[in-house]
Structure 1
């Protein structure tokens, strides 16, 4: 078992997320799901996960997207991922402790066109000190106001209406997930909201397309003696 400080770890890794332009909401959703499993297992050195269970927890519907993102998290040194070909065994996961000065992640060197050569280690120790000294500027548990949420959603290419829906929902339940667990990083929660909205939009499009196809179907043997 590792000695993990829950808050320091999440503060550290979410700060790294905010500075890493390679990540999208799916990467963060998978990481948060993995962290919850790790927490439930009391932070062992490594543990095993079931793909379907992890996808359900992370709200991911596509296996292709899941495999792409979890492999990238492994490649970018956020986790160690050892896939299993045995569905009854599960994939092996190792998590790094980002709540200490040893927590590090690899960033691509822009002079090397994103290749692994020449990558520089970025320590999270200094950013964590920044959090302590500037709590008003880096407070992540909830936004300052609705306008900050709207600005963030527009930056992510989402409408102000969707931003207001998100703000009103979490404002009404005290900025807690499910009304129980206090949010650590509202921006990560917002990205998960966007991911879920995309999935719902895709499902709605599929349903509408299916209904349209059903409406186009007509019988080739119509009984003209039937009353209108």
Structure 2
């Protein structure tokens, strides 16, 4: 067995066999390596995992497809065992035919074989085309290729409509999100009373204007502003002020209550005398007790 002639015949056959791809060649070279280790004796026992590892085929389906097509193209003869405890066997078919000079009989057989394969291929293509035309939903007068183009155009239009609808939906969702964010921002700015929170400290002119609205003198506005400006706008010296208008109303109420108290001016007046005891005013201290 001359492996150089065999490989030469393999590559000469592969160059004219357009049904094979690099995966088939890789798998055949892996088989050739195992055949070489077996000293080119047929049959050889093969392992699927080992062949997939050497040929770099990662899919089991691809492996079975390639080995089946190599057998159909008469590169190998595959004998599966269907037994996990017993390996499958394989015969590597001789390809020296492609390296020997062709006689007239061989040339005739080769031409007839290639013509038969080409005829079968054309028949299969016609059957596939007829089967596809049979399942078309358009009229019989329209060629199949036009049907395909029409379907593709319809699919493209459907995809464009889906993209447009998706974009409109995204824009709508974004607008709703922005609206919710604005509502949350407004709610966050509202106090417990439902009114918008006031800036602290307030403007002095706003304080004076609010005192005028309450018919209070401007001097009271000055006292109020100076008092809370000095303590950092803290209520009771501890809690930060939240509503300066409410603080003004409390200020006015407290000032009214304070003005109602009786004032005692001790300047220029006689100090109050303690009450007399329940005894006679003129007591005779000469009387015995």
- TM-score grouping bracket, smaller chain normalisation: 0.3 to 0.5
The alignment's TM-score, normalised by the length of structure 1, stands at 0.45
The alignment's TM-score, normalised by the length of structure 2, stands at 0.36
More strand by share: 1
Give 1 or 2 for the bigger CA radius of gyration: 2
More helix by share: 2
